[in-house]
Amino acid sequence: MSAHAVEAGSTPLSLLEKAAKALSAFQGSRPRLTLTEVVHRSGLPRSSAHRILDQLVQLGWLEREGRDYRLGMRMLELGALASHHNRLRQAALPHLHALHESTGHLVHLTVLDGTEVVYLERIGRSDDASVPSRVGGRQPAYCTASGKAILAFGDAAQVDQVIRQGLRARTPRTLTRPEFFRSELRRARERGVAFDYEESYRGVFCVAAPLRGSGRAIAAVSVCGNGVHRELERIAPMVAGCTRLVWQSMFGPGRPPRGQEPEAAEPPVPRESMDDMMSWLRSSDWM
């Protein structure tokens, strides 16, 4: 939204909005940026960027090393606090650990933000580096099991938005055609879980279940791994069981979530015929 303000040149940005833009410049793989790079990435005027970077260093939100800036300790602290105070993450944590211990694979907790999933938690062994996810990281929703699990039990408008933004091929297996993607979501609604067969990364397979009561999904839990496709069917009910436990620990077993859960329940979805399902599976590069 602040980006729009800059482009339209309508409302001048507040110092806080400028600071947010400067900090967003660090959202890339390179941890260190020079003033020029921050100016380039943020679109802020150089003099303004310089003054703001100075202030951010003063606050400990950035650190300065020679001519380079990087995110600072204070930002790490505030973010860790945000994570610690995140109610969903706190409720899910013991169940995510249990799921990791019973499956032996990497476990994620994600929420949908626009057309992307954001990783709130990641529980894995030290050698789970083959799946390049990280807490606070983002992925497009359409090519992840988590994203599909949330979208399948979400708002139709969200699905439309995801499709409008385009289903870009990340791997040869990414579902890039809207009709296949919609069928995939219907299938996820029927099964209660969604899969990712190397649709984001080569070799990486995932299964995810939506976190929900009787209404829309508010998050998803997934289990991912390199070459775990043979295990996904066995793991799927464990992931679904995990989300039920998380839901219960947040809202209690029988109680309605009282304003926490989106009010509108999903209309029942007509079950796809098995023939249709098989035909699009064959026509895609799944089989």
Look at the block and give the residue holding tokens 């279940």. Answer: 209
110's tokens: 């994600």
17-56 mask for a second copy (x: CB under 8 A)? x-xx--x--xx---x--------------------x--xx
Q: Is 45 helix (H, G, I), strand (E, B) or coil?
A: coil
Phi, psi of 196 (to 5 degrees): -135, 105
Q: Is 8 a residue that touches a second copy (CB under 8 A)?
A: no
State the greatest distance between any 2 C-alpha atoms of the chain, in Å, as a whole number. 64
| 3 contributes a contact to a second copy by CB under 8 A | no
Neighbours of 287 (CB within 10 A): 7
Sign of the torsion formed by the C-alpha atoms of 270, 183, 159 and 201: positive
User: From the CB of 252, what's the least distance to a second copy, in Å?
Assistant: 18
Of the candidate residues 46, 64, 97, 282, the single one contacting a second copy (CB under 8 A):
97
CA angle 41, 42, 47 (to 5 degrees): 110
- Asked if 5 interacts with a second copy (CB under 8 A), we say no
Range in contact with a second copy (rule: CB under 8 A) among 110-118, 192-200, 229-237, 249-257: 110-118
User: Does residue 94 bind a second copy (CB under 8 A)?
Assistant: yes
Task: Give residues in contact with a second copy (CB under 8 A).
Answer: 1-2, 14-17, 19-20, 23, 26-27, 31, 52, 55-56, 58-59, 61, 70-87, 93-94, 97-98, 101, 111, 113, 118, 120, 125-126, 134-138
